[in-house]
Amino acid sequence: VSGTEGFFQRVWALTERIPPGRVSTYGGVSMLLLGHARAARTVGWALHGLSEAQAEVVPWWRVINAAGRISTSCASHSAQLQAARLADEGVQVDAAGRVDLARYGWFGDEG
DNA sequence: CTTCTGACTGGGA
DNA sequence: GTCCCAGCCAGAA
C-alpha cells in the first residue's frame, strides 16, 4: 500500500486488501497508511467519495469506526446495507450495527 | 494561501 | 453505555 496516487487511492487500495469476513476501522486504515490514526476522518471521507463502480470493487462495508459500530450516513451506502454486506460475509453484526473488532478486526497482515 | 467540510477518535459527565 | 466537545488530517472552492 504505497505510491504517489494520492491518499484516497491508497485508502481504496488498502480497503481492497481487507480479507472477506474481516473488518477494519478508519483509524486502523489511517494507521496502516500514514502510521497514525489522525487521518481517520479523511479515510471515511475517501470511502465517502467512492462511486458506484468503485463501491463494487472496494469493500467499503468492511470499514467501521473504532467503537465497532457502523457510522455510515450515505443514502446509497446505508448502515443497514453495510450490516447486510458484513452478515453476508459471515461477520456477526449486532442489532445496533455493532461488530466485535476483537473477533473480526483486521489491522494489517496478521500472518 | 485561507476557509470549510467530513462514513473519526479519545476523554469527561 | 451513551452523549457532547475539541483535535486531527486531506481535499475542494
pLDDT at A3: 57
Which residue, A83, A36, A87, A84, is CA-closest to A64?
A83
The answer to whether A41 CB is within 7 Å of strand C is yes
For residue A67, give the amino acid letter.
Answer: A
Confidence class of residue A4 from pLDDT cuts 50, 70 and 90?
Answer: low
**What's this model's pTM, rounded to 2 decimal places?**
0.94
C1’ C9 / CA A55, Å: 23
pLDDT at A1: 65
The answer to whether A63 CB is within 7 Å of strand B is yes
C1’ B13 / CA A94, Å: 27
Which grid cell is A19?
Answer: 480479507
Q: How far apart are CA A55 and CA A23, in angstroms?
A: 16
Percent of chain A exceeding pLDDT 90 equals: 81
Query: How confident is the model over A37-46, as a mean pLDDT?
Result: 95
Query: How confident is the model over A18-39, as a mean pLDDT?
Result: 95
For residue A11, which nucleotide's C1' is closest to its Cα? C10
Query: How confident is the model over A64-82, as a mean pLDDT?
Result: 92
Query: How confident is the model over A49-72, as a mean pLDDT?
Result: 94
